[in-house]
Amino acid sequence: MADFVRSSGILLHPTSLPGPYGIGDLGPQAYRWVDFLSRAGCALWQVLPLGPTGYGDSPYQCFSAFAGNPYLISPDLLVQAGWLTAEDLAELPAFPAERVDFGAVIPFKLALLARAFSRFQEHATVQQHAAVEAFHRAQGDWLEDYALFMALKQVHDGRPWVAWDAPLRRRDPAALQQFAARHRRLVEQQIFWQYLFFDQWRALRAYARQKGVRIIGDLPIFVAHDSADVWQRPGLFWLDEEGYPTVVAGVPPDYFSPTGQRWGNPLYRWERHAEEGYAWWLARFRTLLEQVDFVRLDHFRGFAACWEVPAGEETAVNGRWVSGPGAAFFEAVRQALGDLPLIAEDLGEITPDVISLRERFGLPGMKILVFAFDGNPHNPFLPHNFVPRCVVYTGTHDNDTVVAWYQAADEGARDFARRYLATDGREIAWDFLRAAWASVAVFAIAQMQDVLGLDNRARMNYPSRLGGNWEWRMRALPGDDIAQRLKEINGLYGRLA
């Protein structure tokens, strides 16, 4: 397991960082967060996908698989760079401290970013213009189309690309050229915003490395239908002549949902990807690995087989399993890019072909402690059943927090957990942390919510719920008492950075 060294870390999306601007960002608080991880002896910071969020504010439904989220751009750093002034930030809306109010944050941030772009156009030096142009050239494979896509959405009042006029929907070259000429300012604004995001993220990542902290990123297997990716390359997806999906992704009915989950993402025409040597995927990996040190492969089982749902179905009940690209995909990735530092999100309905694929390429899988305590000593999520080649989590963004799990569990599960962990349950979240850290798993990761011992008022996402997700924020960064407590268990269990 090249690059995988026994260590620990925290799962915290940047949107959850504290600060005065309604949403966490890549500014001063992010640097203080890295300082906290360093003091705590934690070598890993795990984030969710960093793309520009669209429907439902989900980082798993982005307008691009390559672009960065402009809402994460730090206003404070824009002041330092000269693109905003202190006066621009003098009067702030009364944002809630413990959640992101996306309805209020989005127009506020976009107005600030538009002001920053105006200042750039008016006052940028030759060197500053050259820096943006160099970024544009370096990211040209995706950036121009993304900027054009977002400008088109802006002119069309946010409507999805399938609702645009046919020449624009079908990417008629003359129509696109005419639009780009007429709305060049909007296109260049999007390019500038991406420059800001990548510049701020690059500096933050460099600081993290300097502090001994590496970043685990997240690569969603599927992309949103209303995205620059699908609009730019419709032939890579199962779409009809008008651009609508014919089949969509989901998961079958299970214990948690009797109708399954109909995600709605278009499915890949894997044979087309194979004909192109998986070039689109290789570009995704290259772009993400410029931003992070490890990559969590979301819905890994979809590379073996995925649940295909006819687009006209309202639920996922009437779906079927269809084969994914399998080993040929990972062989192509390995041949082009070498052995990548990938973590397989191997949760859900895992069949022997999924295990075989993961094992063939030596990828660490995931273990979730809130799934462990059903009373069965052979449960694969119990620490004594782990192998070193895995990553253990107290829970993930899609789960109850540990405290909420304990509150809702039946007494049999709680009793088993107490006996297994040798605890009275008064600090159940930290009991889970100790079990994760003490295990043989190469990486041990806790949600920040579990480090803070919070209940489901701090839960990040309910997969079957529309709205109200992705909102949790910390009021303030954790103090030295928590840093020292983490450092203690990092030292005890050989995970000290």
Distance of alpha carbon 476 from the chain centroid:
22
User: Of 57, 345, 346, 400, which residue is the catalytic one?
Assistant: 345
The answer to whether the CB of 404 falls within 8 A of the CB of 467 is: no
Amino acid identity, position 62:
C
Say which of 141, 144, 331, 398 is annotated catalytic.
398
Strand partners, 321: 307
Q: Strands 342-344 and 294-297: what pairing?
A: parallel
| Known active-site residue 480 | no
Q: What does each C-alpha distance from 247 to 269, 282, 298, 308, 312 come to in angstroms? A: 11, 24, 20, 6, 8
End-to-end Cα spacing for the chain: 18
- The answer to whether 415 is a known catalytic residue is no
Strands 365-368 and 443-447 come out as unpaired
- Give DSSP secondary structure letters for 449-465: HHHTT--GGG----TT-
**By the 8 A CB rule, do 268 and 236 touch?**
yes
Q: Which residues contact 322 (CB under 8 A, 6 or more apart)?
A: 267, 305, 306, 308
Quote the distance between the C-alpha of residue 490 and its chain's center.
26
Q: How far is CA 167 from the centre of its chain?
A: 33
d(CA 297, CA 31): 26
CA–CA separation, 233 and 397 (whole Å): 30
Dihedral sign from CA coordinates of 455, 458, 461, 466: positive
Q: Strand order of the sheet with strand 443-447?
A: 342-344, 294-297, 214-219, 44-46, 7-11, 443-447, 390-393, 365-368
Hey, which residues does 10 pair with through a beta bridge? Answer: 45, 446
Query: Which of 127, 121, 108 lies closest to 187 in space, CA to CA?
Result: 121
Of 25, 188, 298, 450, the active-site residue reads 298
Q: Which helix (H) or strand (E) holds 217?
A: strand 214-219
Q: Where are the alpha helices (DSSP H) in 218-373?
A: 228-232, 270-275, 279-289, 327-337, 352-360
Radius of gyration of the chain (CA): 23
Q: Is 398 part of the annotated catalytic residue set? A: yes
Q: How far apart are CA 203 and CA 196, in angstroms?
A: 11
- State the catalytic residues: 298, 345, 398
